Amino acid sequence: MKKKCVYVLLICILTLSIGVYVSLDVYADPAFEINAKSAVLMEASTGQVLYEKNGHEKLPPASVTKVMTMLLIMEALEYNKIALDDIVTCSEYASSMGGSQIYLAAGEKMSVEDLLKAIAVASGNDASVAMAEHIYGSEEAFVKAMNDKAKALGMNNTHFVNCNGLDAEEHYTTAYDIALMSRELLKYTKIHDYLTIWMDTLRDGQFGLANTNKMIRFYEGATGIKTGSTSKALYCLSASAKRNDMQLIATIMAAPTSQDRFSYASKLLDNGFANYTVLAGIKEGATLGEIEVLKGMMSSARLQAESEFEMLVEKGKEKEVKKIVSISENILAPVEQGQKAGEIKFELGGKELGRVNIITSQSVKKITVGKVFSKMVQRWLNAR
C-alpha cells in the first residue's frame, strides 16, 4: 500500500512539473533558400539542431573565430586568472595586426574590460592578440588552449591557427562547431553586457565603437554574437536571440554579401521561434516523494530528481510524450545520499527521448541492535 501511495505521489508531481522533449529526427525545412555554403540553427539550452545545411563542412570562419577567444577570456575571468580592471600592455606584435582593429600602439595600456569590449563590439584583431598574450604569455599558447577547448566541446571539425580569424592555412571550423562554442559562450551571463552593445567608446571617449553585428539593433530579442568576413571566408555570422525563455543560435558561413548573412540568420531564427518552444522540465533537486527503507534507522528516505531537464517542443506536439516513472519497491539500509532509486523516462512514438535519475536526498544508517531492542520495548509499553 505504501509503495502505491509513493508511486501515485510521483505521478502527480511529474504531471505538474514535467514538460515534453521532442527528439527531432528530421531538421526543420523552412520554405526558403539559404544561399550560403553552410548554416545551422541550434536551440541553446538543449543543443538540438533545428536546421542544417552542410553543417559539418570545414570552412574558414574569419572573425567568428573570436567566439572562442571570448570564451577563453570569460573562463580566465571566472577562475580569477585575470580581472576586468587588469591593465594590459600591448606588444609590438599585437599592434601589428591588420584588418579590424582599434589601432593599439606598441606599449599602449588598456584594461581587460576595454579590450573585451573592443573584441565583442568592434572585432579588434589587435585587441584579441593583446588579450591572448596577457592570459597565456603568447598567442601560440593561447591558440593551443583554443584547440584544447574545441576538442573538449566536441568541435571535431575545427582547427585554429590564430586567435582573431585572419586567413591562414589550416584555420577552419564548421557551422555546427561555431554553434557549439557560441552555446558555451552564452552560458556566461556577463558576456551579454558586451555582445549587446550597439555603440560605445574607448580611450575616454576619443575612439568610437559600433557593433559589427547589425542584428543587435534590428532583430527582436537579439543577444549576440559575432560577425566575420575576409576575401577567403566571405561573410560569416553567429547570431543569437532570445524570446519567451527560448534562446536560438543561427550560424551562417560563406554568404555572398554582408546583408545576406543577416537576412539568412533572421529567417532561420524566425522559423525557430515560430515552430518550437522550450518548456521547463523537472528542476534539479525537485522533491519526488519517499521510498521505503528496510532495516534502517528510519523507515523511509526522501527522493528527488538528480538533474534538471529542459525540453525543446515542436509546437502542437506537447501532449504526445509519455512519461514513465519506475522506482524500486524498497531499498535496504544503509542508504547513501544520492543513491539511485529509480528513473523517469520520456518516450514519443515508442522512441526513448531521455531519462532523469531519481535519487535519495538523505542517507539512512542501518538499524543497530540497540535500536531494535528500543523499538521492541516501546511497542510492548504501547500495547499495555
CA proximity to 298, closest of 363, 342, 343: 363
The upper half-sphere exposure of residue 201, i.e. CA atoms within 13 Å in the direction of its Cβ, equals 6
User: What is the DSSP annotation of 103-117?
Assistant: -PPTT-EEEHHHHHH
Distance CA 342, CA 365 (A): 20
Please state whether the peptide bond connecting residue 334 to the residue before it is cis, i.e. omega within 30 degrees of 0: yes
Q: What is the distance between the terminal CA atoms of the chain, rounded to a whole angstrom? A: 28
Q: Which of 346, 340, 329 is nearest to 20 (CA)?
A: 346
Residue type, 281: G
C-alpha–C-alpha distance, residues 288 and 292, integer Å: 13
User: Which residues does 254 contact at the CB level (< 8 Å), separation at least 6?
Assistant: 36, 37, 38, 59, 233, 234, 235, 236
Distance CA 383, CA 129 (A): 82
Integer Cα distance of 85 and 78 in angstroms: 14
> Rounded to an integer, what distance in angstroms lies between the CA atom of residue 287 and that of residue 281?
13
**CA 214 to mean position of chain CA atoms:** 23
295 catalytically annotated? no
Show the cell assigned to 346: 520520456
Check 45, 123, 128, 300 and give the catalytic one: 123
* Amino acid letter, 162: N
User: What whole-number distance in Å separates Cα of residue 124 and Cα of residue 101?
Assistant: 4
Q: Which is catalytic among the residues 37, 38, 45, 66?
A: 66
Q: Which of 38, 45, 53, 63 is catalytic?
A: 63
Distance CA 120, CA 112 (A): 12
Active site residue 229: no
> Do 344 and 324 touch, CB atoms closer than 8 A?
yes
Q: Is 66 a catalytic residue?
A: yes
Cα distances (Å, whole numbers) of residue 90 to 81, 131, 344: 18, 9, 54
Query: Which among 152, 182, 156 is positioned nearest to 44, based on CA atoms?
Result: 182
Tally Cβ neighbours within 10 Å of residue 211.
22
Which residues are the active-site residues? 63, 66, 123
